[in-house]
């Protein structure tokens, strides 16, 4: 089964670094530079896991998360929030909207890959 990860983050360096590490670990990677693009890519690509930043310029990560949870294609896709915004309000709202993991930046690509692998094992992928 294909292990496809969608990275939604407005920081180009974060996307490129994480993509490189994931591809070295035999993941197929698709990326999006903002929330609107992320929603479109998620619907088109149906990834195994989504790594989502909260702080983005157009549609913030919480709105993206809410839309993905209401979408028939992505409603049950595991989502890892990876953000520098670690306040309890953002964390609580993320959990209410159904995230799988909440990671505070800075976080190493190894840790993200470890969490992705754990999630895929949990859902049997």
Number of domains, the chain: 1
What is the distance between the alpha carbons of residues 124 and 89, in angstroms, rounded to a whole number? 31
Sheet holding 49-52, edge to edge: 28-32, 4-8, 49-52, 79-83, 101-104
Residue scoring higher pLDDT (2 or 28): 28
Interval 61-115: pLDDT, tens: 999 999 999 999 999 999 999 988 767 888 898 889 899 999 999 999 999 999 9
125 located within any domain: no
Number of residues that make up the chain = 125
Identify the helix (H) or strand (E) that includes residue 8.
strand 4-8
18 located within any domain: yes
Interval 28-71: pLDDT, tens: 999 999 999 999 999 999 999 999 999 998 899 999 999 999 99
CATH of the domain at 94: 3.40.50.2300
Which structural domain, as residue segments, surrounds residue 21?
4-120
pLDDT confidence of 125, banded at 50, 70, 90?
Answer: low
């Amino acid at each position: 089964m294909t292990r496809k990860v969608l990275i939604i983050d407005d920081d180009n360096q974060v996307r490129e670094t994480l993509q490189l590490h994931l591809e070295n670990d035999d993941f197929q990677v698709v990326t999006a530079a903002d929330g609107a693009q992320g929603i479109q890519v998620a619907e088109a690509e149906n990834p195994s896991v989504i790594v989502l930043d909260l702080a983005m310029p157009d549609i913030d990560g919480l709105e993206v998360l809410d839309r993905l949870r209401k979408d028939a294609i992505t409603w049950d896709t595991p989502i890892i929030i990876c953000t520098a915004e670690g306040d309890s309000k953002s964390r609580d709202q993320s959990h209410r909207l159904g995230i799988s993991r909440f990671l505070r930046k800075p976080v190493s690509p190894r840790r993200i890959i470890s969490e992705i692998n754990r999630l895929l094992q949990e859902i049997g992928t």
